[in-house]
Amino acid sequence: MVKLTLSPFEMEIARKRLGREPNEAEWATIDALWSEHCSYKSSKVYLRSFPSSGERVVMGIEDWQDAGALDVGDGWAIVLKLESHNHPSAIDPFNGSATGVGGIIRDIISKGAIPIALLDMIRVGNLNRERNRWLLKNIIRGIGFYGNSIGVPVVGGELSFDDTYDDNPLVDVAGIGVVRKDKIVPSVVKQAGLKIVIVGLTGLDGLGGASFASRKLSGENEIGAVQIADPFAGKIVLDVTLSIADKVEAIKDLGGGGLVVGVTEMANGFGAVVDLDRVPLRVSDLTPEEILISETQERMLFAVKEERVKEICAEFEYYEYPCAEIGYFTDDSVIRFRYRGKEIVNLPSELLVSPPLFMWEVRKHKRPSIERPKIDIEEAIRKVVSHPDFVSKEWAYSQFDYEVGTSTVIKPGEADAAVIALPNGKLLAVKGDANPDLCENDAYECGKYIVAEAYRNLATVGAKGIGIVDHLQFGDPRKPEVYYTFVEALRGIAEAAKFFNTPVVGGKVSFYNENKEGKAIKPTPLVVMAGLVEDKLLRGSIEEDLSIVMLGLARDEMRGTFLSKLYGNFGETPKVRLNEDLVASELVVQGINRGKILFAKDIGRGGLVSALFSILVRGYGVDIRSNGIKADIGDDLLVKLFSESTGRFIVLTKEPEWFLENKKGVIASVIGKVTKSSGVLKIDDKSLELSKEIDNYYNYFFRVIEND
C-alpha cells in the first residue's frame, strides 16, 4: 500500500469531484499530482505575484515547463533551473545530492539545451556534530560524482552552517544550459495522437518521492524514497536526448511523482492511455502502483509522431539503453493507465491538475530583541572571519571538475560571481544568494535583500542581472508563523525582481523542512541570478598601495546580521533601499568598463570586516581610517565594521578621485590603502595580526572533515 499524504478534506473533495471512491492506483495517482511538491497547492496563489515577463524572457513560469529561458542575443537563449533534494539528502546524502544534480541536468536537456554549468548551495548543521560532518562529506561526494562523471562543471555555490539544519540539510542545485531560441523543445504536447515513449528502467528506488518531500522527516527508515544515482546512464540520456531533440514534439524528465505526473503534465489538458506492461522494469515483480509513482532516475518521456518511434528508440538501443512505446495522447482529457488488460486508473485530467488551493493562516512572530551587549572589537573580528561560513571552500570545489567543457571563465572562489563563456561570445555571470538569519527576523526585507545582493555580486565582475530563478524553503505551511514568513519573503522577492527588471523565470517551493520533533528550519528563500557582462570583465587583481574606496552608507541596523548571530539579536533590522543597490552597482560596472577598478567586492554578510578579509587572504594587508567610513551613527566603530546595510561595495583603485567625482548620488569615501603587511588589518592606530585566521581560512575543512 502506497503511503498517502492526502488529508481527509482533500480525499473527500476527490470523491465528490469524481462521484465515486477511487481505487488504490487512483489514490496513488491523485496523491502524487496533489502533493505539495508537484501541485504548489499552498503557494500557487502567491506565486502569481512574481514578475515573469520581459523583453528577454523566452520561457517564463508556465505550467509544466521544466525550466525557464532567457534571450542572451544572437539567436541564443540560456535555460535556467533550480531545485533541491533536501529530504533525500538527509536520509542518503550521497545519492540524495547526486540525483539532485541528475534531475537538474535532465530538466535542462528536456528543453533541447546543452548543460554548461551547475551551482550548488548547501546548508548543514554545526560541524561539531559527527552526523553533520558525515552529511557534508557525502553531499559533496555525491555532487562531484555525478557532475564530474557526466561532464558538466560545478562553477559556484554556497556552503553555510547553522544549528537549524542539523536534521534537515538543504541541498540546492541550479543548472544552466544553452540552446538556439528556435530549437527550444516544449515539455507539453499540443495535439492528440502522439505516441508516448519512455527511456530507462523503472525500479523500486525513489518510490513515492514526491509525497516523501511533501511531509516532514519522520525519523523512520525511508531509504526507499531516495533515488539511486547512475551518471553513466545519465550521460547516455544526455547525449542521445540532445541528438534527437529536433525529432520529437515534446520532452519531459521523469522526476517528482514519476510516470503519473510526467504523463499528466505532458498531456497538458489532453488525455492519455498508457500500458504499464510495456514499461521497461529493473525488477520483474513491481506492482502497478509502484510502476506509477516510482522515481527511478535516468528516465525521460518523449512525445513522438508514430512514424518516428522506431527511429527514436534505435538511437537509445544503439547504447543498449531501454526504450519503449507505452501509449498515446488522446483528445478526451482523461488519463488512463492499464495493467494486464485491465484499466486501473481512469481519471479526468482536470481533476488531477486542479488540486484544492490553500491560503493558510498567517501570524507574525517577532523575535525578542536584546540590549546591545558589550562587544570587544578585536574578538568580534576574529570570531567572524574564523567562522566556517567565511573560510575558503576549496575543499569542496576541488572535488568538482569546474573546467570541463572549457566554458568556465571565472572559477569557484575567484570572485563574487561565476562567469561562463557563451557560444555567441558573450559572458554570463551567475550567483546564488540566501540569508536565513535576516529572514528569521524580517522575511520581507530578506526577500528584497537576497535579490539585491545577487545583483551586486554580478556587478563586481562587470555584469548586469537579466533574470532569476528562486527556491523558497520553509517548514510546515499550516503553521501560521511559518506561512507568514513564506508570504513575506515572496513579497520581498517579487518587489525587488520588478525593481531590477530581473523577471522570475522559474523556481521551486519546498515546505515541510522540519525535523522529527517538528522544529522548522530558519526560513531560507534562495535566488540564483543570471546576468551578462556589459563590456569588460573584471577578474580582480590586488597590488600594494591601491586605494580602498567604500561605496554606500553603513547604518545602525544590526539585527539579523552575522554579528548578531554570534552575540545575540540586538538592534534594528536592516531596511533594503533598492535604489542605493542599483546606483552603486551601476557605478561599479561603469568603473570596471572605464578601467578604474582592479578589484571589487560587495559588502554583505559579515559587513566591512568580511569584505576586507578577502584582501588579507590574498597575501596583503590593509590600513583603514575609521573616520573615512561613512555611517549614520557617527563614530560607532562596531556599526562601521559589521553593519550589513545594502547598497555597499569596496573597490580597489589607483584613481580614487574618479569615484568621488562620478558618484552620482552614491556615497563614496576613501577609507584606506592596501599594504604589503601580509595578514595585518590596521584600523586607525591599532594593528591586528590575522595569520592564524588566514591559516584557518585555507585549511579549516581539510582539518575538520578530512581528519574526522
Q: What domains sit in the chain, N to C, each tagged with a CATH number?
A: 540-708 (3.90.650.10)
| Residue 66, all three cell numbers | 521544466
DSSP 677-708: STTEEEETTEEEE-HHHHHHHHHHHHHHTTT-
List for the chain the helix, strand, coil content (%; round to 5): 35, 25, 40
387 is in an annotated binding site: no
Residue 323 burial (CB count, 10 A):
21
476 is in an annotated binding site: no
| Residue 460, all three cell numbers | 563586481
State the virtual CA torsion across 248, 253, 257, 258 in degrees, nearest 10: 70
| Residue 69, all three cell numbers | 529561458
Query: 3-class DSSP state for residue 646?
Result: coil
CA Rg value for the chain:
26
Residue holding cell 462521484?
A: 19
84 is in an annotated binding site: yes
pLDDT score for 420: 94
365 is in an annotated binding site: no
CA–CA separation, 431 and 410 (whole Å): 12
Q: Please, what is the Cα angle at 498 between 494 and 499, to 5 degrees?
A: 115
Query: 3-class DSSP state for residue 639?
Result: helix
470 is in an annotated binding site: yes
85 is in an annotated binding site: yes
pLDDT, tens digit (0-9, with 9 covering 90-100), for 40-53: 999 999 999 999 99
CA nearest neighbour of 161 among 188, 189, 135? 135
pLDDT score for 210: 44
pLDDT score for 659: 96
106 is in an annotated binding site: yes
253 is in an annotated binding site: yes
CB 78 within 8 A of CB 114: no
CA–CA separation, 639 and 24 (whole Å): 61
Query: 3-class DSSP state for residue 5?
Result: coil
| Residue 200, all three cell numbers | 530507462
pLDDT score for 312: 97
Active site residues: 37, 85
CA–CA separation, 151 and 128 (whole Å): 34
DSSP 513-526: -B-TT-PBPPPEEE
Residue 321 burial (CB count, 10 A):
18
Residue holding cell 555611517?
A: 631
Please give the distance of CA 287 from its chain centroid, rounded to a whole number: 35
Which helix or strand (DSSP H or E) is residue 594 part of? none
| Residue 227, all three cell numbers | 533515488
Q: Name residues whose C-beta falls within 8 Å of residue 97's C-beta, 6 or more positions apart in sequence.
A: 85, 89, 120, 138, 139, 140, 142, 143, 146, 171, 173
CB 507 within 8 A of CB 472: yes
Tell me 626's DSSP state. G
Residue holding cell 545583483?
A: 455
510 is in an annotated binding site: yes
Task: Write the single-letter amino acid at 14.
Answer: A
Residue 201: φ, ψ to 5°? -95, 140
Please give the distance of CA 282 from its chain centroid, rounded to a whole number: 32
pLDDT score for 64: 58
User: Could you tell me if residue 530 is left (phi over 0), alpha (psi between -120 and 50 degrees) or otherwise beta?
Assistant: beta
Q: What's the half-sphere exposure (Cβ side, CA atoms, 13 Å) at 531?
A: 31
Tell me 355's DSSP state. P
Residue 323: φ, ψ to 5°? -150, 135
CA–CA separation, 267 and 549 (whole Å): 57
Q: What is the 3-state secondary structure (H, E, C) of 209-244?
A: HHHHCCCCCCCCCCHHHCCCCCHHHHHHHHHHHHHH
CA nearest neighbour of 65 among 55, 79, 53, 86? 79
| Residue 516, all three cell numbers | 522529527
Task: Write the single-letter amino acid at 156.
Answer: G
CA nearest neighbour of 681 among 630, 608, 632, 629? 608
Residue holding cell 515547463?
A: 65
Query: 3-class DSSP state for residue 32?
Result: helix
Task: Write the single-letter amino acid at 512.
Answer: Y
92 is in an annotated binding site: no
Helix runs in 569-680, H state only:
578-593, 607-616, 637-642, 656-661
Q: Please, what is the Cα angle at 583 between 578 and 584, to 5 degrees?
A: 95
Query: 3-class DSSP state for residue 4?
Result: coil
Which regions in the chain score pLDDT beneath 70?
A: 1-2, 63-64, 206-227, 404-406, 708
CA–CA separation, 397 and 158 (whole Å): 10
CB 196 within 8 A of CB 452: no
Task: Measure Cα distances from 668 to 50, 211, 320, 597 in Å.
Answer: 33, 52, 64, 14
Residue 108 burial (CB count, 10 A):
30
CA nearest neighbour of 345 among 1, 11, 22? 22
CB 589 within 8 A of CB 533: no
